[in-house]
Amino acid sequence: MQGKKIKQRKLFINFSLEDRVKPDNFYRRLNEILNLDFLYKATAKYYGKEGQKSIDPVVFMKLVLAGYLENINSDRRIISTFENRMDILLFLGYDIDEEFPWHSTLSRTRKLYGQEQFQALFDQVIRLCVEKRLISGKRQAVDSALVRANASKESMKEIMDDARLYVQELTDNTEPDPDPPTENNDKKTTKRISNQTHFSPSDPDARLTRKPGKPVNLYYKSQLSVDTASHFITYIQAFPGNSADNMSLSEIVNKTVKNLGNHNLRVTEVLADGGYSSGEAIKALMGHNIEGYIPNSGNYKHSRDEEGFFYDAENDSYTCPNGAQLTFRRFAPSAKKATIWKKIYESAPGDCRNCPLKESCITKRGTKQLVDTVDKHLYEQMHRKTRSIQGRKMKLLRSSTVEPVFGSLINYTGMSRINSKGIQQANKCMLMAAAAYNLKKLLKYHFKPSQIRAENHQSKPEGMPMAA
């Protein structure tokens, strides 16, 4: 017999979210393991004792977190989507007829809270993962990715002359500017824009840089560390878009070691690509007694044999193809960064006087110079290590660990674009995206459908039929 649904409005209805949301629902399971009550005490300093009540801090953080879990980074869409979701209503502790806050409340509250509240939530998730023994902490893979800023390069303004010195200080130790040409309004002449000459009025912390295969735009750089044993994120932070990776590794290592040390986990190995290679980076690892696998950058010269210069380690000197000795003369600061020192090797003026190659070889002083870094011995050790069988395995492990994590964050966890302004706000967004990523993985380990069915079976009173 064919059935036909007859719509009839009921005068009274008995409805409960607890009954309607299934036991294996993601947000119901998440609510059972994630306790954010610490936020009440942590955010009390932002509020007075009189006036209109604010949004509940736990409700705010859960709404924002659910946005990243659902790959939604618009506050307006978060409110319009979630007020119709029964499982998220249960997650928030809302009744079905309870009114949601305005979307502007989320953006105002995000700006109000400090970074420490978002870091505390991320640490809380790390603690849950450690308690389930899902993070070993021993080996960490480090990488970076560019994330679009919430600003347009077309709206950039020229920096006034009296501010150029300040901007130059901000851009020290960064990667070279892409410095692309753009047309003026009159289209008769072209003017170059760069981080030294222009800034974004809406987001002054955003930086021009180029993403491979994409046009130059305003970006932030996300640096993260991933546990290679389980692919959980153990550290994430926002940096300026044009910051150099090798200048950031020291801070990354310090904070990763601190994050895991709070849970009695010790980092013993760090894997990174050649962009992180520097003497300072290697020394930072050595300072924590960490074994590093970082290939030397492409411009590093392991050997000058191809140029015809042979190194004598015992005498710390080079011999040129024509037999002249280039001995160590002095230390000199690097032109790019004064704290980085170079070793200068130079021949005697008389040695090159009759050399047939002097026209293309010697300096204005009539000598031949070679420049090496003072950390050459560290680079040589790293070169041997990364070329070994173990080093090649670590290279493959790094790329197979950290690159898929970034792909998930950007494509499925709301980090395709920063939805707020400023580097502090960008850092909050990245912390929430990483927390959402870790929670997705945690629930896969913590709850299995077969376990839930077994628990339901055990909890049913005798004689009660099992649900299909």
DSSP helix/strand/coil, 427: helix
- Least confident range of 18-22, 79-83, 409-413: 18-22
* Nearest-angstrom CA–CA distance, 446 and 160: 56
What is d(CA 124, CA 64) in angstroms, rounded to the nearest whole number? Answer: 16
Which band of pLDDT confidence, cut at 50, 70 and 90, is reported for residue 346? confident
The structure tokens 């036909």 sit at 4
Q: How far apart are CA 381 and CA 295, in angstroms?
A: 11
Please, are residues 25 and 87 in contact by the beta-carbon 8 Å criterion? yes
| Radius of gyration of the CA atoms of the chain, in A | 29
Would you mind telling me the total number of residues written for the chain in this entry? 468
Alpha carbon distance 260, 336 (integer Å): 34
Q: How far apart are CA 51 and CA 261, in angstroms?
A: 42
Task: Cite the beta strand spans of 280-435 per DSSP E.
Answer: 291-293, 310-312, 317-319, 325-333, 341-346, 369-373
Determine the Cα–Cα distance for residues 96 and 94; give it in Å rounded to an integer.
7
Q: Is the pLDDT confidence value at 184 over 70? A: no
Report d(CA 428, CA 434) in Å as an integer. 10
Composition of the chain by helix, strand, coil, percent to 5: 45, 15, 40
Q: What is the pLDDT of residue 454?
A: 47
Give the list of residues 6+ apart from residue 225 with CB closer than 8 angstroms, or none.
140, 141, 142, 233, 234, 235, 236, 252, 256, 270
* pLDDT band, residue 153 (cuts 50/70/90): confident
What pLDDT, on the 0 to 100 scale, is given for residue 186? 45
* Angle subtended at Cα 387 by Cα 386 and Cα 390, rounded to the nearest 5 degrees: 65
Q: What is the dihedral of CA 22, 25, 31, 32, to 10 degrees?
A: 70
Closest CA to 62 of 93, 41, 16: 93
Output the pLDDT for position 97. Answer: 84
The predicted-structure confidence for 37-79, as pLDDT tens digits, reads as follows: 999 999 999 998 888 889 999 999 999 999 999 999 899 999 9
pLDDT at 456 over 60: no
Residue 385 and residue 354 in contact, taking contact as beta carbons nearer than 8 Å: no
**Residue in 98, 74, 243, 249 with CA at minimum distance from that of residue 172:** 243
Mean pLDDT of the 336-343 span: 71
Average pLDDT over residues 387-411: 94
Residue 13 has pLDDT above 80, yes or no: no
pLDDT classification of 169: cutoffs 50, 70, 90: low
pLDDT of residue 451: 45
Does residue 12 or residue 451 have the better pLDDT?
Answer: 12
Give the lowest-confidence range in 26-35, 164-173, 292-301.
164-173
Q: Which helix (H) or strand (E) holds 147?
A: strand 139-148
Tokens of 344: 């200068």
What pLDDT is recorded for position 375?
84
Residue 441 has pLDDT above 90, yes or no: yes
In this model, does residue 457 exceed pLDDT 60? no
Exposed (0-12), middle (13-18) or buried (19+): which is 271, by Cβ within 10 Å?
buried
- Could you tell me which of 302, 146, 341, 174 has the C-alpha nearest to residue 244? 174
Backbone angles phi and psi of 69, in degrees to 5: -65, -30
Cα-flanking dihedrals φ and ψ of residue 61, to 5°?
-65, -35
For all residues of the chain together, what is the average pLDDT? 84
User: For residue 181, is pLDDT > 50?
Assistant: no
Instruction: Report DSSP state, residue 316.
Output: T
Determine the pLDDT at residue 183.
43
Look at residue 180 in the predicted model and tell me its pLDDT: 52
Mean pLDDT of 193-199: 86
Q: What span, in angstroms and rounded, lies between the C-alpha atoms of 159 and 197?
A: 5
Q: What pTM value is reported for the model?
A: 0.82
Share of the chain above pLDDT 70, in %: 85
Q: To 5 degrees, how large is the angle CA 413–CA 416–CA 421?
A: 110
